[in-house]
Structure 1
Amino acid sequence: MRRIITLLYIAVVSAALTGNTYASFPGEVRWHNETADTTKINRILIDASNLADKTPNELMAYIGMRFEGTPYVAGTLEGDPEMLTVNLDEMDCTTFVETVSAMALTIKERRNSWQDFLYNLEQLRYRQGRINGYASRLHYISDWIVDNTHRGNLRDITDRLPGAKYQIKTIDYMSRHRDSYPAMKDDATFEGIKNSEVGYRSHRYPYIRRSALMTKKAPFWIKEGDIIAFTTKIEGLDVTHIGIVMLKDGVPHLLHASSKLGKVVLDPTPLSEYLSKNNSITGARFIRIGEQR
């Protein structure tokens, strides 16, 4: 059963006790299972706290594997009104990567409570790190990258990679398919989404072509724990899927929330084979947590 709790008082007390000085904290959270989720968040953060000196990529790989087997469910963030939503029992590809990234950022800050995780999750998921309705959520991966890179949460390394090319697309899939998004029945929300798309007309972004990634051994620059976002041929859309790179004997595999396999899984097929079976993919972008190179 979903429960909504007010966290402002808890945040103030936590700040007083721990010395946290976060500028903002979500007033309300929509939990899928409050007790189980807060317990799991704390357990993972505490278990990973001795890895704080590891690289963010190493943390991404370690934390990501903790969610292996979690059922795939789409649309878990949808609800009225828009709230910071936490559901560790069900994930899609985006919520999986966001959750792991928020935990990795929390560990790098040497913090280990679910309150700290919530702060970082809001920072990653919403424009300028603040919830302000449905349109403030960073729905497009390009928007997610640009906004979070500006604030130092992410670093898109794609344009620094050998063989990087550029794709130019107008990203407006959501406004073109208004009927597919129940929240956009509201005219103000629809206009908010259209306004967020304005900055992505003829958007130019780097990618590595699919053909350059279809080698069995990993290129020298791929690191375990890299976030990989697959670019697409679909009109109006930049990215269709996202996951985390894992290396098995030097061969890249995809750790992701898979709709086909119905769960978070370390894909048994190498990345090259995964790409060979997905003709709508044009290539990939590579992102790292924090400002690491």
Structure 2
Amino acid sequence: MRWFTLMILIPAIMGCSSKQPAKMPVESKPQAAAHQTMAVTMDDYTVNKLQALLALHAAVPEIDKNQTIDMLSEAFLGTPYVANRLIGSATTPEQLVIDFRGLDCFTYLDYVEALRTATSEREFVENVIQTRYVRGDVTFAHRKHFFTDWAQTQHVLADDITAGLSPHAVTVDKHLNRKADGDVYLPGIPVVDRSVTYIPSEFINDQVINQLQTGDYIGIYTKLPGLDVTHTGFFIMTPAGPVLRNASSRQENMQVVDSPFASYVANTPGIVVLRPQ
């Protein structure tokens, strides 16, 4: 096993939630900060793969973000799907997990997003922290639990472009984390009121698909109360056509695969599209 010990900055006052409107995320620097030492353990497989991916990216510095996401996400094809990769809850201390041996659909996005701007192992780990946690605070309460958090919280990672892709886009006011019976999915996490825009699957035609770019983050919208999406992946244009590159939990897959995009989304309620910054 190999250890990394990082010094990261976290706000001096913790536990306060932003009162800013969800549609108006604002980047701001904390007025005061404290140092926290964060140790992360990675197994040999993860360290070796990380080094190989950093070298792969360094060898082609001229490629753009879309090509970078394609290249890095492709390197995980065939990786086993493993559910619930992260460790932490309202009663269990959060751990910084970095493990390439198995992915769920969201940690897959985490790692590729963190890799695409990293030039060293240390920078990758720091990027994972900033990608996965609000203000880089490695706690369960500050984890970005919802797909749309990537476009709605501080340190915005992507722009929500869904509304501009189709005149048939629908906006729904959601109470994220609140179930239909009033209970919550994640104890210890507040309910977040958020407007979620999606394109219903019956309107995802060639005109919509032609506006998508390789590397766009795709969320599979859900009509369930309290959730924004139930699955995520990358839109990738391949020589064989567009695919959803995703860590698939379907019984016939159980690994990272390329699923034909149009046929995949046709059997879903619709999609949310975030474009990486």
> Structure 2 length as normaliser, TM-score?
0.79
Structure 1 residues 89, 58: CA separation in 2 closer, same or farther (over 3 Å shift)? Answer: same
Aligned-partner residue type, residue 148 of structure 2? S
Mapped partners of 2:103, 2:183: distance in 1: 23
Verify the 8 A CA contact 1:218 1:250 in the aligned structure 2: no
Specify whether residues 50 and 4 from structure 1 end up closer, same or farther in structure 2 by C-alpha distance, changes over 3 A only. Answer: closer
Q: Which residue of 2 aligns with 1:14?
A: none
Q: Confirm whether residue 145 of structure 1 aligns to residue 137 of structure 2.
A: no
Matched with 1:169 is 174
1:122 matched residue in structure 2: 129
Q: Is the 8 A contact 2:69 2:112 kept in 1?
A: yes
CA 1:168 to 1:54, structure 2 compared with 1: closer, same or farther past 3 Å?
same
- Tell me the residue number matched to 1:156: 160
Provide the secondary structure at the position in 1 that maps to 2:101: coil
CA distance in 2, matches of 1:104, 1:81: 28
Asked whether 1:85 is paired with 2:89, we answer: no
- The 1:4/1:70 distance shift into structure 2, 3 A limit, reads same
1:206 aligns to 2:197 (yes or no) = yes
Deviates more, 1:223-232 or 1:52-61: 52-61
Query: 2:142 — aligned with what?
Result: 136
Give the SS at the match of 2:247: strand
- Give me the whole-angstrom Cα distance separating, in 2, the residues matched to 1:234 and 1:243: 19
User: Secondary structure, in 3 states, of the residue corresponding to 1:68?
Assistant: coil
- Quote the offset at 1:161 in angstroms: 2.3
Offset of 1:177 from its aligned partner?
A: 5.4
CA contact (8 A) 1:93 1:241 kept: yes
Conservation of the 8 A alpha-carbon contact between 1:218 and 1:252: no
1-structure distance, mates of 2:131, 2:35: 13
Is the Cα contact below 8 Å between 2:221 and 2:271 reproduced in 1?
Answer: yes
Q: Look up the equivalent residue of 1:8 and give its one-letter code.
A: L
State the distance in 2 between where 1:52 and 1:205 align.
36
Unpaired segments of 5 or more residues in structure 1?
A: 12-22, 107-111, 185-189
Gap change, CA 1:255 and 1:217, over 3 Å in 2? farther
Asked whether the equivalents of residues 25 and 119 of structure 1 are also in contact (C-alpha less than 8 Å), the reply is: no
Q: Would the alpha carbon gap of residues 87 and 6 (structure 1) be closer, same or farther in structure 2, given more than 3 Å must change?
A: closer
Letter in 1 for 2:143: R
Gaps of at least 5 residues in structure 2 are 9-33
Counterpart of 2:226 in structure 1: which amino acid? Answer: G
Separation in 2 of the partners of 1:168 and 1:276?
23
In the TM superposition, what is the alpha-carbon distance from 1:115 to its structure 2 partner?
Answer: 0.9
Q: Secondary structure at the match of 1:8?
A: strand
Equivalent residue number for residue 187 of structure 1: none
Q: Name the Cα RMSD after superposition.
A: 2.6
Instruction: Tell me the alpha carbon deviations over residues 38-89 of structure 1, each in whole angstroms, 9 at most, x when there is no partner.
Output: 2211210111123333221211111000000000001111244212110100
Describe the shift of the 1:29–1:288 C-alpha distance in structure 2 as closer, same or farther (beyond 3 A).
same
From the two aligned structures, give the one with the greater strand fraction. 2
Give the conservation status (yes or no) of the 8 Å contact 2:199–2:272. Answer: yes
Residue in 2 that maps onto 1:287? 274
Correspondence for 2:114? 102
Q: Is the contact between residue 216 and residue 252 of structure 1 (CA under 8 Å) also seen in structure 2?
A: no
Report which of the two has the higher share of helix: 1
Return the letter of the residue paired with 2:98: V
SS in 1 for 2:209: coil
Within a 5 Å distance, the mapping from 1:258-269 to structure 2 comes to 258-260=248-250, 261-267=253-259
Taking the aligned partners of 2:240 and 2:207, their CA distance within structure 1 comes to: 6
Q: Are 1:57 and 1:223, in contact at CA under 8 Å, matched by a contact in 2?
A: yes
How many residue pairs end up in the alignment? 245
Aligned to 2:31: none
